[in-house]
Amino acid sequence: MLAHQAELSLSRALRLRRTDCLALTGAGGKTNAMFALARQLAPPVFLTTTTHLAVEQAQLADRHLILRSAADWPFDDVPPEVLLFTADERSPGRLGGLDDVALERVRSEAIRRQAPLLIEADGSRRLPLKAPAEHEPAIPDFANHVVVTAGLSGLDKPLDEANVHRVGRFAELAGIQPGERITIDALARVLLHPQGGLKGIPAQARRVVLLNQADTAPLQSQAQRLAERLLPAYQAVVITSMHNGEREPSLQLTRAKDCTVFSVTEAVAGVVLAAGAAERFKSPKQMLDWHGEPLVRRVARIALKAGLDPVVVVTGAHSAQVEAALQDLLRHEIRLKLVYNPDWRQGQGTSVRTGVLALPPECGAAIMLLVDQPQTPLSLLHALREAHSASLAPIIAPLVQGERANPVLFDRDTFGELARLEGEQGGRALFKRFTPLWLPWLDHNQALDIDTPEDYQRLLSLYSIQSDQRL
């Protein structure tokens, strides 16, 4: 499959599993997101609220059930439907949230049926932006996913009651005055504040920001800039459009799964494979000079410049020399890590395994970089990241004149397989188990690597100092 053919669903973008409990907070699309997500999952799907829900929104479920107590469970056999559980109507037009005992009953039934549980955990008066009150959000301790929503239609608008729920509190967290324009910086401060977007999130929960209402190209661009600000406080930032210009949840929208996911921003790591002995080359390839710096330093530096985080250099043979070559980068760059592969003699697969096992759990993907490909340009690394952001494809590889080339990006869904690799095969073993996304690449030099001294001299001659500096 080519990169432009990829499609991404909201459930995939959130990496939701059937056994997950997901709580939604914030403003600008919580209810739309909850019901659109429910329609993408295999039923049964359990929905509820810990605060309140508008009566008319209950019709978005296949079945709405009032639970007055934990003993009020209505099913012997749960039907394969989207099921909404709430308390009675507490005020005109507003359904109440479940108490703790009833909520625990819904949770236990969801676990027993292996059904996803989606919880709306605060209110926003259907405005694009909000700040939480003292009692909000009401996120259960057992939630293992939290999605903080924000409506991009509030950007560049005045901070007033037409755009923001709890104007005074939002102003305090954002560091601006009521009536001032809501900028990207202001919204970022609210979403990153421990009493703002991060408030009340259980320590074990995966944290995601959903930037909704990205209905125009300028808003999508602003959302992308905002997304880069929000990592690593959040594990992912998802940019979507779900309301088609309407603030009200749409029955047609949630039933038709009409949700466009533009991108998912996650941390993408770099793994530099630099453990080999280069026996055929007769000298350490890692230390070959590339216009004034060793190959290993060159590749690590390009990975860092591309924004990969962390960049893990796997060493083995010649580890002391490799570490010495990277000392200046290690002193100044906290993203750069060295990890030693004691099994390097057994083949490249063990280095891939070592690198993957050294990655932090929040990594969404990793790009495997070969130390003998110093010509890899920044543009290719950016293209791999962008293709992954738009698809979350399990494997993304350059396609040069119809042939697979390096470097290759592997999604986190493949990490378990990569961590079991042995011997010489390396990551290419996974191409038969996962469907790769091919990224057409026009520079045929990207297919080259350094196996012999002749290869090294040829590559040096192809990339002068001036042309290399443009990479």
Which has more confidence, 215 or 277?
Answer: 215
Does the pLDDT at position 255 exceed 50? no
Provide DSSP, 13-81.
HTT--TT-EEEEEESSSHHHHHHHHHHHSPSPEEEEESSEEEGGGGGGSSEEEE-SSGGG---SS--SS
Does the pLDDT at position 272 exceed 60? Answer: yes
**DSSP designation for 119:** E
- What is the Cα–Cα distance from 112 to 226, expressed in whole angstroms? 39
Taking a C-beta distance cutoff of 8 angstroms, is the pair 275, 339 a contact?
Answer: no
Q: What are the counts of helices (DSSP H) followed by strands (DSSP E) for the chain?
A: 15, 23
As to burial, measured by CB atoms within 10 angstroms (0-12 exposed, 13-18 middle, 19+ buried), residue 470 is exposed
pLDDT > 70: percent of the chain: 94
Q: What percentage of the chain carries pLDDT values higher than 90?
A: 80
Average pLDDT for residues 160-176, to the nearest whole number? 97
Instruction: Please report which confidence band the pLDDT of residue 246 belongs to, taking 50, 70 and 90 as the band edges.
Output: very low
Q: How would residue 353 be classed by pLDDT, with cut points 50, 70 and 90?
A: very high
pTM for the model stands at 0.93
For 434-465, write each residue's pLDDT tens digit.
Answer: 999 999 999 888 988 888 888 889 898 888 75
DSSP 310: S
The domains located in the chain, with CATH, are: 3-258 (3.40.50), 267-469 (3.90.550.10)
User: Rounded mean pLDDT of the chain?
Assistant: 92
The structure tokens listed for 358 are: 């050294």
Helix (H) or strand (E) holding 170: helix 167-174
